[in-house]
Each structure stands twice: as C-alpha cells, then as structure tokens.
Structure 1
C-alpha cells in the first residue's frame, strides 16, 4: 500500500525492525567525489552521478549546482520528505508540497577577504506550501513536525563533528 507515494508497508517493516534491533537504526551514507578541474567535480552516491560546479562569475564553468545550492536542495528535499512521511502517519492525503529555499552567505569568507563573515550560510529561509486534505492548523503541525524530524535540519543546526583524514595514493607501486 502506498500513500502520498510512500511505500507504507516498507516503512512500517523498517520501523518495526528498528524498534526490535538498535543496530538496524544505524546507517553510514557514503559517496565518492572526483575532481574534474577548476570548480567542477562529480560525486557518485549509490547509482547517482551528481555534478557540482560554481557559476562563471565565481570562476567555475556552470556545469552543475554549486555546493551551497546542493546544501539548500538537500535541506528542502529532506523537509518535504519528512512532511510527506508525517502526513502518512497521520493518515492525511497530500496533493503537493512546494518549498522555496534561499540562503544568504558572504562570499568574502570563501576568499578570505578581511572583514568578511564566515564562509557558510548566515541565514536560510524556507517557504513551505502544502496542498493536503487537512485544515490549515493540521498543515502547520505537519510542516513543523517535518522540520523537527528532518535529519538535514538537525545536521545543519546541530553541532555535527566533521573529521578530515589525509590519505594518499602511492605513486609507482608495483
């Protein structure tokens, strides 16, 4: 059975398994990035190839969304998914979810220009529109619940440690 495009049986089976076995809750996500020169790179995640680049004005070749645009994309997509899943749990039929997402950043931080702010987003804004078979108060509740349960929101607003390890390929091995 599906509701709102969500395979409810698969989600329920996973949820049941995670309640029984704490190890079933743990997941490591990964990808492999290859730099293509300049600001252009390609990342492989599962079976998906995701290009990233900067616009020409920032020295890129505009062959993909910028890394910061990809962050905004991930945020909006995760909030939408969380809203849809919350609606499934509440038995609400959703017809559409649209999210306008934008973020402000000081590009001077990237280029280490004196007096600039930090290189990350200063503020991110989401405007969420949900068309569902529910009164406005319930839709507001769904949006707030979706926001609170979003792993991307938590990762951006929490203090997630980032560890960088330096590896190298041995040249001329053999």
Structure 2
C-alpha cells in the first residue's frame, strides 16, 4: 500500500498524475481465436466449440466478467487496507446472462449482458456491517463497474493502411 498511498498523494497534488491511457493490441489467429497483448501479457480469447470457436481461451464476455470480478476484488482490498481492516480472503462468484441471438442478429435483442450477478465472500477481522461497507465501497469505486454501468463512448476507426488494397 505504500506505492498506492504515494500515488494517491501525487494525484492530490497534481490531478494530471491520475490520467492514464490504457492500451492493447489484438491479433486475429483465425476463426474466433485472438490474442491481445497488454503490457507484457498475452491474453487469449476464443469462443466455445458450440458456437464456432476452438476453446483456446475464455470468450470475450467471460473476460468482461473476469475484469469485473477482479476489479471489485482489488477495490475491496484497497478499501480494507485504507480502513486498516485485516482481510484473510476475498472470493467472488460472477455470472452474466447473455442471449446469443443478439450476436448472430437472429433477433432484435441486446448483444451484451442482460444482467450480471456478483456474489462476494470475504473473511476479515471486522464486524459484518464494516465488511458490508467495504464491499459496497469497493463496488462503487470500481472503474470496471463504472464503465459497464455508465455510457462509455466507443469510437471505431478504420486505419486506411489496414483496409486492404484499393
């Protein structure tokens, strides 16, 4: 937490210290399989065989659920550390309902999740109400929660050099 606290203090002095642009590069590997390079990590994505994939990685929507539960976990841990609450374990079950007819344009339904459910199990040296407060705070401050619940503009641009021969 020393590094986190130092970063928080730097952001208090200079709001620009909190601004970041995160990025990755995704390459198609054929079929439904792709690999995204983020920092020094290769993250595979694929679909299950039942919908045309080769099952060489989690589906993109499973990665969304992974990002959501990981971010809430981190936010709860940060909140607990700030409150000096000793946490022994955090485990999150996450599931989302998806109607694949939207992806395949079979019906006029959303392509994204209809609902996502998160169940948090936490063991900590604190009364139930304090644990509940930490979980609520972790949820509220999660950037992934904010991105999923808010309307984040997504701009798609086609690079001319990648558009193929004219």
TM-score, structure 2 normalization: 0.96
Shift in Å, 1:110: 0.3
Q: SS where residue 169 of structure 1 aligns?
A: helix
Q: SS where residue 24 of structure 1 aligns?
A: helix
Q: Which runs of 5+ in 1 are unaligned?
A: 1-7
Matched, 1:135 2:127: yes
**Where does residue 152 of structure 2 map in the other structure?**
160
Distance, in Å, in 2 between the alignment partners of 1:163 and 1:41 is 20
**Where does residue 5 of structure 1 map in the other structure?**
none
**Where does residue 40 of structure 1 map in the other structure?**
33
**Where does residue 4 of structure 1 map in the other structure?**
none
Distance, in Å, in 1 between the alignment partners of 2:5 and 2:145 is 23
Distance, in Å, in 2 between the alignment partners of 1:141 and 1:22 is 27
Cα deviation code 1:94-136 (max 9, x no counterpart): 000000000001100000013x421000000000000000011
Q: Report how many residues are paired.
A: 164
Shift in Å, 1:76: 0.1
Shift in Å, 1:168: 3.4
Cα deviation code 1:124-166 (max 9, x no counterpart): 0000000000011110000000000000000000010000011
Shift in Å, 1:169: 2.7
Matched, 1:74 2:67: yes
Distance, in Å, in 2 between the alignment partners of 1:61 and 1:169 is 30
Cα deviation code 1:64-91 (max 9, x no counterpart): 0000000000000000000000000000
Within the candidate set 103, 115, 119, 2:111 is matched to: 119
Q: SS where residue 39 of structure 1 aligns?
A: coil
